[in-house]
Amino acid sequence: MQNRLKNKNTGNPDVWKAVGLLHKAIAAGGIDPKLLALVHLRASQINGCSACVYASVAGGKKAGDTDERLHHVAAWREAPFFTDAERAALALAEAATRLQDGAPGVTDAVWDEVSAHFTEEQIGALNLEIALTNFFNRINRTIKEPAGQTWG
């Protein structure tokens, strides 16, 4: 796959400043970096973004997660490797990512399960992580960003 955009540095430093501030806000939310990587991975799998799948696996490993868990995110409902809180976060990532063609999005049941495991501040961080992941997934799919490349 060839990247369509040779220079991802748009010449507008405010773009990278804004992304950096979003990352800072997510980190301040008190969510374990391993869980953030799992959420990023699941949304990226749904969206078919190879660059973000690659990045989230690398991020998960850097945060100390295992190959076994990372390899099973696509089948998290059937895999025994995830806590109830992680399952709630993965369900939120899926529901918030799958908004097309009348999909129900984040139902009350999904929200109630997330609320049972996380504070409002943590849910805010999860929401930002999911939204930022979907943002980058769409950019990467548009420009055909190949796995293994880096931004910035």
Average pLDDT over residues 112-116: 98
**CB 145 within 8 Å of CB 3:** yes
What pTM does this model have?
Answer: 0.89
Q: State pLDDT tens for residues 33-85.
A: 999 999 999 999 999 999 999 999 999 999 999 999 999 999 999 999 999 99
Rg (CA), the chain: 15
Residue 97's φ and ψ, nearest 5 degrees, are: -85, -40
Percent over 90 (pLDDT), the chain: 73
The mean pLDDT value of the chain amounts to 90
Q: What is the dihedral of CA 50, 55, 61, 64, to 10 degrees?
A: -130
| Cα 19 from Cα 27, distance rounded (Å) | 12
